[in-house]
Amino acid sequence: RTVRDIAIPIATVLVFTTIYSIILLVVCPHSSDFNGLDDERDDQKLFNRFYFTMTTLSTTGFGDISPRSMRAK
């Protein structure tokens, strides 16, 4: 395998995860939409959505952040 064979799927996953995180930030901008984000600062919002997206899409699901509102679900 070459580096390109591995880099393209990883880059694709990162691009889709970033797009989904931004959409999630627009649709659910308030920390009250999620359990575990009660004391979220404005500068943490995108990172927290990215973390939630990665753990959800990778089916790891640690459970430290979970959707609370219907919009987030």
Q: Which helix (H) or strand (E) holds 56?
A: helix 45-57
pLDDT value at residue 57: 82
pLDDT value at residue 39: 83
pLDDT value at residue 61: 76
pLDDT value at residue 26: 93
Q: What is the pTM of this model?
A: 0.76
Contact 44, 11 (CB under 8 A): no
Averages of pLDDT over runs of 10 residues in the chain (73 residues) are 87 92 91 87 90 86 84 84
pLDDT value at residue 22: 93
- Which residue's structure tokens are 């930030």? 25
Q: At a CB cut-off of 8 Å and minimum separation 6, what does 29 contact?
A: 45
Contact 24, 52 (CB under 8 A): yes
